[in-house]
Amino acid sequence: MSKILLVTVGGSFQPIITAIHSLQPDRVIFIASDGEKGSKSQVIGEGTPCEVRRGAEVIERLPNIPTQVNLGENFQPERDLILVQNPDNLAECYSKICNCIRKLQQESGHQIMADYTGGTKTLSAALVMAAVDCGISLYITIAARDNLVKVERGELTQKVDTSFK
């Protein structure tokens, strides 16, 4: 059974790297914002589009996420990148994510998982709603919350209880 992980992409790539390393999926589907300033550059950007920052200072530049985690030919942008025009539009985000999950569920032999750590609040909320509605496993990458602005290195990925009992 192949493992497929859906992740939302925002300003920080590190939690996505952690989720991929922790969950060891066979395939990753990235949900990112389109446009000139969109988070898609962290997924398909050339050169070193991922930035490690300390405040406003860029302290390191790294390749895109698929390159960093060695997805190689397991990553096909036309298949594995969902672009949203407005990452703050809940209806757009939810419908694109639900359509993707439902299509995957129609195929047999997949374990589908989602990690909602990255992306706008709306994009993350849409992934959570779609995961719960479609009955797939949900994860979040967390760390000791010394920094309340963003998740930093040293985080771990854990399953979220969606039974709501």
- Strand, helix or coil for residue 59: strand
Longest pairwise C-alpha distance within the chain: 47
Model pTM score: 0.88
Q: Tell me how far apart the alpha carbons of residues 142 and 26 are, in angstroms, rounded to a whole number.
A: 22
- What pLDDT is attached to residue 55? 86
- What pLDDT is attached to residue 13? 93
Q: What is the 8-class DSSP label of residue 67?
A: H
- Which pLDDT tens digit goes with each residue over 12-49? 899 999 999 999 999 999 999 998 889 999 999 999 99
CB distance 84 to 34 below 8 Å: yes
Tell me the C-alpha to C-alpha distance, in Å, between residue 19 and each of 8, 88, 113, 154.
Answer: 11, 23, 11, 12
Q: Give me the chain's average pLDDT, please.
A: 90
Q: Tell me how far apart the alpha carbons of residues 43 and 30 are, in angstroms, rounded to a whole number.
A: 7
Q: Would you tell me the crossing angle of helices 121-134 and 90-106 to the nearest 10 degrees?
A: 40
Amino acid, single-letter form, for residue 146:
D
pLDDT band at 1 (very low <50, low <70, confident <90, very high): confident
